[in-house]
Structure formats: C-alpha cells, structure tokens
Structure 1
Amino acid sequence: MSRNYSSRKRILVTGGAGFLGSHLIDVLLGQGHELLCVDNYFTGTRDNIAHLRGHERFEFIRHDVTFPLYVEVDEIYNLACPASPVHYQHDPVQTTKTSVHGAINMLGLAKRLGARILQASTSEVYGDPAIHPQTEDYWGNVNPIGPRSCYDEGKRCAETLFFDYHRQHALEIKVMRIFNTYGPRMHPSDGRVVSNFIVQALKGEPITIYGDGQQTRSFCYVDDLVRGMVLLMESPADFTGPVNIGNPGEFTILELAEKVIAMTGSRSELIREPLPADDPKQRQPDITLARSRLGWEPSVALDQGLERTIAYFRATLDL
C-alpha cells in the first residue's frame, strides 16, 4: 500500500537531473512535496540540480534504472532516458534497455508500493506520421530497424508494459506523449534543433539545416510541458492516457532558424546537410484530449520562450 499519510507526498523522479526532470522537481518542491531524484548522469548534470543542494525536502541517488531500485515513495515520474538523437544513438542498446528494463523496474516498484506512476513517452512513437496532426489513437509509422529505433521502439515497448501492468495488476498509470520541448537547462550539445540553432547563432557559427528545412516541428516551452505533466499525474485514476502534451503551433525548421538569427542579432549563415535517416517530415500534436480532460493548453508563445532560452545560453556559455 502507498505510504502517503498527508497531503505531502514523497515523489520519485527518475532522470531528475535532466532538462525536464529538474524543472519538474522545482515545481513539485514548490508544492511542498518531498522529492527523491534518481539519475546516472548520462545526460543529466549536477548543474541542473545544484541549486537544490541542501534543500531539506530534496534527496539525490545516483542510480541506473536498468537495475532495480528499492525505495519507499507515493508517486513515480519515470523520465529516465536520453531524449536527443546524439545521446540516444551513442549507445543504442543501452537506450533500449533504459526504456524497457527501466520501465519494468519502475513498474515493479510501483506495483510493490501501490504507487501511481507516470511514463514520459514521446511523440516519436508516431514515427514519420502518415496523418497530420497526430492524435493519440494513431498507431504510428515507425521503422523498427533504423538508427532511431532504439528510442522510438523502446518508448513504444515501455507504453506496452505500462498498459499491461495496468490491465494485469490494476496499477494506476499515466502515459504522456511529449512533443518537442525547449527551455533553460537544455544541454548545449544535445543535437536538438532549438539548442543547436541558439548555440550556433550565439557563437556566430554557420547554422545547420538538414534537408530543405521545410520539415515542421511544434515547440513547447518547458514550463507549459511540466504543468501538463503534473496535471496528468493528478487527474482521475480512470484517465490513463496516452495523452499528447505539446504546443500545436507548427513551424518549419527554416522559420525557426531565421527567427533565432533575428532574435540573437547573429550574422550566422545557413548551411545545408542531408536529411538524417527516418527524420519525421511533420510533427504537430492534436491536443484536444489534453484540453478536454486536463484543462491544459500551452500559454508561452515561441518568441517568448526563445527569448528566455537565448538568455540562458548567453549566461551559461558566457557569450
């Protein structure tokens, strides 16, 4: 049974030293909860949680979720997994293990404790989508043997495990499909398009456009994303998801590059590179379900979010 004795919960966040995890922990601490942050520092960093050192309700454990973890908590947010192509393709076997073994271990922990558990899934489960925008009932168009498959199929398998634990063991689950998210604490060399463009622009380096730049993405500011994540965790038990959380505003990669150049005052030139294998041509969430069941929609416009993110990178890179 869950050990929750009051409105204050003890909450486990795996991948808590990462970009999303550290912002989530800040919000949950602000709500008065106790936080247990678990990370192996593969892509997360000490800097992301340095401001929490000494906080009376924050605890850190260095641990890899592919191994079992024995702790006592009320809720689990499972965010552990490298999320950018540069990082998840570095060791693709380990990426798949993190998604699959990590899900098994965290689900087993949740089952033992009777704890509610949320899976940070991804829009990558839709692959290179044949429908646009993407709704949660779309099964996806994913290459199971390509260079991105370790992440795409790992996350798809994790969703399978979550729903099987829900059906077989009546476990309370929440599955959230995250679309492109950006903001402060992104890793400057994680290979994601927003951080890539901002860092290149601030350094005056050429900005790399893959393909013709007409592929589209939808960019959600981190504060909006985390708010949606917490609302999903707190939603009624019968609402399991999956639910899309992302900003439905759609921009071409070329539009983003031109916007970043203008906002940074950079003189960077655009250079073209071949499109990577299995790179989706379109990505835009249908957030009808999030609006109707969670009362959620993003509130931070792209220009406003980029302004904050550019300021972060100027300060951290001393540019």
Structure 2
Amino acid sequence: MSVLISPAARDALEGWLASSRALNGTAENTLTAYRGDVVDFIAFLTDYKGEAQGLAPLARITVPDMRAWMAQTRSGGASARSLARKLSAVKSFYRWLAEREGFEPTAVLSTRAPKFQKKLPRPLNEDAARAMIDTVGQRSTQDWVGARDMAVVTLLYGCGLRISEALGLMGRYLPLGEAVRIVGKGGKERVVPVLPIARQAVARYVRLCPFDMEPDAPIFRGVRGGALNARLVQKVTEQARMQLGLPATATPHAMRHSFATHLLSAGGDLRAIQELLGHASLSTTQAYTSVDTVHLMKVYEATHPKAG
C-alpha cells in the first residue's frame, strides 16, 4: 500500500473491498484491479492537495479535483477505456464511502467517463464455427488430445461457456446430462442446457482419456494429467484458424460470441440468451449478439404476434 495513503483512507478502502467480496461476490482479480485504481486516485489527491487524505478531505472532493485527476491520468498515457474503468472503481468506492460516512458524493458520481469506441466481438458464421471444431480435433497426433480439444471448443460454441468455465468442470459432473450448473464470474450460478453433440464430444474424450475421472479433479487434463491450461486451447484454436484461413478474431472466446449470435439469429429471446451466458447486464449481451438489423426485422416479423 502506498505511503501516500492515510491509515483512515486505507481502512476505508479495505472495508469497501471486503464488502464487495462478501455482498457482490466480486472476483479476486477484479478486487486487485479495484484496489490499484483507488490507491492511485487517493495518492493523486494527496499529492495534488499537498496533504494526506483522511475521510474528511475525501468527502470534500470537488468537480475541479476530479477533472485534474482525469487530466493527469490521461497525460500519463492511460487510454480512454482504461480511464473509464478507473473512474468506475472510484465511483463504486465513493458510493460505499458516502453511505457509510453520510456525505454527498455528487462531485464524483456526476463525473462523466470519456467516450471510447467499444470493440464489438466478431462471431464466426455457422460453417466456420463447425469447421473450427472439426479442425481443432484433428491437430494432435494423440487421439485423446484431439478429442479433448474438440470437446472443449464444442462446449464453448454449443453451451456458450467461457473457457475458464469449461476447464473448471469437475469429474463429478460426468456423465454430462441435459443441463449443467455453471459457476461463472463473481460466483454467479446459472443452469446451461447441454446439446447432444456436446455430450457426445465430452463422452468420447472421457472414453479415450488415459487419466481417471476423479470427482474432484478437472475433466480436461494436460498430457501429464494436470488441469488443462487455457493457453493450450488458445494455441490449438490459433493453429486451426490459420489452417482454415480465418481472421485473428477467431479465438476461443469468439466461439462463445458465435453461440449467442446464432441463437439470436434463429429467433432466440435476448433475455434468455443473457441468462445462458451469465451476463449481469443486458447491454453486454447485446454487444455479443451482433446480428444485422435486416435479419432482426425478419425474425420480428415472423414471430411477433402483431407483426402479421
């Protein structure tokens, strides 16, 4: 912790992080990022004001203070996206602190994040997604490894899992049923249907795998029997997309994008897809499902009761 942080500010920061962990189930890596962002912010105020920032000075923050922090952060090389993330952390901290200490945090909460161009995900089309799955399964000279890689990528596309979620599946889930309970970001649980093709891909891998499927051990293993590293899945996917001539955006995560987009293009409900993906916000799901407007209008006209 920086020496520029007063003990009172440090205690408040740790209290907020503990609250986020306990009440919101915030992931540890996210909490680490939050801590760094708020420490940097308070350290700036300490330097800017020329004195340690206890709780009373923090409560007296002004709009010019916020502008000065944002200007220095940008001049230090932070991108608009990075500054927006830092501001989000500071706002969250101030909401908690203001409620706890009884002051008005308008100067912080009214500060607008800089605008930046969001990078929209690029899903594969259906033929490319199928080709990716098949090609990934043919990359290894060991049948069980090929079956493993094919099963993982099938789960990403067939169930919309994050790669960490697929690799986090344990032996006690076997044999996979028609649905599986997934613990996603922030400890949020959701139930995801498992298509027959995904169940078959996992069953084939399990049949060929030379390691015992113990209840508390991961289903997907590396060649030495330890947990499969996500980087290996990314590498084999990269090799497959180069073989197929697909763009660099054809990553494991793109398979999850493709799952969402193809469901919506087939007439799926956006909120149902949000639940399947485990998104906290519908806007995140909308970014995933980059279906063109013309196709959406066709789905609308075909399915809406008043469209006919």
Structure with greater helix percent: 2
Instruction: Please report the TM-score for the alignment, with normalisation by the length of structure 2.
Output: 0.23
Normalising by structure 1, report the TM-score: 0.22
Larger Rg: 2
